[in-house]
């Protein structure tokens, strides 16, 4: 790589590493799920919030892509999305501290609104992010890039998870959650410095105006057919995400786990799994291809909910390896599907392909809501078995994907 490529690579790695540290403090499937249970005591709320957040992060992308595609530079719009997220985390931290103890219902509603803003900002940022990374990171280095984005956090992420565990256990409610969200906002702002050092080249655009809607939807239709095998695999393996918010709820409801202490330990395991696996996922992508990496990831995702059932007789601490594997495969999905998407998308339509892919995989967003409703009539082990069956089918569908390099 030349000096400019190294600069861009380092900037992107810095952003991913510091962002991972902040995210490890407020994991949706541990900390946010635990906070929702504390505020409402409802599995419907846990599943419903996961659904709302995914929809908020997904639905706007297809419309944003049409508007951004003719822009020569996407960086200003990415930075706007990042600072929108910083503001939402900061406001939420202040509200939890100021009124969380006296008005739990108001905090629950505010949490819904501000998390929706946060995830909408992430969705808006995904379109310019995909195009920028496609321009500044060479094809043969993308596996390493996405893998090392998370791996840079390494011991810092684990340290942040340990810090989160101590905050949850030692600081009184609700200030423990307020402190976590405040730290996450500060770290997200710090992570944005990575994009300030990236030198984004101009995109090769033929028209500086957005396409007419009729022409744009024709392009969307063609791109959707091109992405069909990828989306099918995403949807089937996405069933692994259906159970993810409920492992911590299962530990409390069925295994008698103390919520604050268990959440901290599970968070450390989940973050640790993501950190340890990043190097493996990056090596698989760069030495083999995205398809091989996604198959291995889907296979581990299939085993994880079965393991949760098998180890439960040994108590809530026996679920720690489940969270380790869940963190590993959660990161693996990001590495594998992002690199495969960049391989499939034409250079001039990366943003559009990102938006289409997000929209077509939107049904995954409703799976936690469905799971929350199902848990009113079925047991947690039954939910985990359903998860494993569909995720296993996703592992098989990986072989419909095109081979990489």
- Report the alpha-carbon distance of residue 395 to residue 403 in Å, rounded: 15
Q: Find the domain containing 357 and state its range.
A: 3-199+217-400
Q: How far, CA to CA in Å, does 208 sit from each of 70, 204, 212? A: 5, 10, 12
Domain membership of residue 317 (yes or no) is yes
H-helix or E-strand containing 192? none
How many percent of the chain have pLDDT more than 90? 16
Domain membership of residue 211 (yes or no) is no
What one-character-per-residue DSSP string does 129-163 give?
A: HHHHHHHHS-GGGHHHHHHHHHHTTHHHHHHHHHH
Burial of 174 (0-12, 13-18, 19+ CB in 10 A): buried
Domain membership of residue 210 (yes or no) is no
CB contact at 8 A, 301 and 237:
yes
Please list the pLDDT of the chain residue by residue as tens digits (405 residues): 567 777 888 788 888 878 878 877 887 767 777 777 777 766 667 666 766 776 777 777 777 777 777 777 778 888 988 998 899 889 989 988 888 667 777 887 887 788 778 877 877 787 788 788 878 877 677 667 776 776 666 667 777 777 887 888 888 888 888 899 999 999 999 999 988 988 877 776 665 566 676 777 787 788 788 888 888 988 899 888 888 888 888 888 888 888 777 877 887 888 788 877 877 887 787 777 788 888 999 999 999 999 999 998 998 899 999 999 998 898 788 888 878 887 787 776 777 787 788 778 778 877 877 888 888 889 999 999 999 999 999 999 988 887 655
CATH of the domain at 297: 1.20.1250.20
Number of domains in the chain: 1
Domain membership of residue 205 (yes or no) is no
Domain membership of residue 204 (yes or no) is no
* 396 Cβ neighbours under 8 A, 6+ residues apart: none
Domain membership of residue 299 (yes or no) is yes
Domain membership of residue 206 (yes or no) is no
The 3-state DSSP composition of the chain as helix, strand, coil percent (nearest 5) reads 85, 0, 15
Residues 265-315: tens digit of each pLDDT: 887 888 788 877 877 887 787 777 788 888 999 999 999 999 999 998 998
What does the chain come to in residues?
A: 405
Question: Coil, strand or helix: which one is 258?
Answer: coil
DSSP 402: P
Domain membership of residue 208 (yes or no) is no
């Amino acid at each position: 790589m030349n000096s400019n490529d190294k600069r861009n690579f380092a900037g992107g790695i810095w952003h991913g590493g510091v962002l991972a540290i902040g995210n490890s403090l407020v994991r949706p499937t541990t900390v946010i799920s635990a906070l929702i249970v504390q505020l409402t005591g409802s599995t419907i709320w846990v599943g419903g919030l996961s659904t709302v957040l995914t929809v908020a992060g997904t639905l706007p992308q297809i419309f944003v892509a049409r508007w951004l595609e003719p822009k020569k530079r996407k960086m200003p719009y990415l930075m706007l999305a990042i600072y929108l997220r910083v503001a939402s985390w900061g406001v939420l931290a202040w509200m939890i501290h100021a009124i969380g103890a006296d008005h739990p219902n108001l905090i629950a509603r505010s949490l819904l609104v501000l998390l929706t803003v946060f995830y909408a900002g992430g969705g808006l940022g995904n379109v310019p992010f995909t195009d920028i990374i496609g321009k500044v990171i060479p094809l043969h280095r993308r596996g390493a890039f996405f893998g090392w984005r998370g791996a840079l956090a390494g011991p810092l992420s684990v340290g942040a998870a340990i810090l989160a565990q101590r905050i949850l256990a030692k600081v009184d409610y609700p200030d423990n959650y307020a402190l976590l969200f405040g730290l996450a906002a500060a770290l997200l702002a710090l992570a944005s410095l990575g994009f300030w050092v990236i030198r984004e080249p101009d995109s090769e655009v033929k028209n500086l105006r957005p396409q007419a809607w009729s022409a744009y939807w024709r392009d969307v239709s063609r791109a959707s057919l091109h992405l069909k095998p990828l989306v099918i695999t995403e949807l089937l393996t996405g069933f692994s995400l259906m159970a993810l918010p409920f492992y911590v709820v299962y530990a409390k409801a069925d295994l008698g786990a103390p919520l604050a202490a268990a959440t901290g330990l599970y968070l450390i395991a989940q973050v640790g799994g993501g950190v340890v696996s990043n190097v493996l996922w990056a090596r698989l992508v760069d030495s083999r291809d995205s398809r091989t990496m996604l198959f291995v990831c889907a296979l581990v995702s299939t085993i994880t909910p079965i393991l949760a059932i098998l180890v439960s007789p040994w108590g809530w601490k026996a679920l720690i390896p489940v969270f380790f594997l869940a963190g590993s495969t959660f990161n693996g999905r990001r590495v594998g599907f992002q690199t495969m998407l960049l391989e499939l998308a034409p250079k001039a339509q990366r943003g559009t392909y990102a938006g289409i892919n997000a929209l077509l995989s939107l049904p995954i967003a409703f799976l936690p809501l469905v799971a929350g409703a199902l848990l009113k009539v079925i047991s947690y082990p039954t939910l985990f078995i359903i998860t494993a069956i569909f995720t296993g089918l996703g592992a098989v569908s990986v072989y419909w994907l095109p081979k990489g390099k």
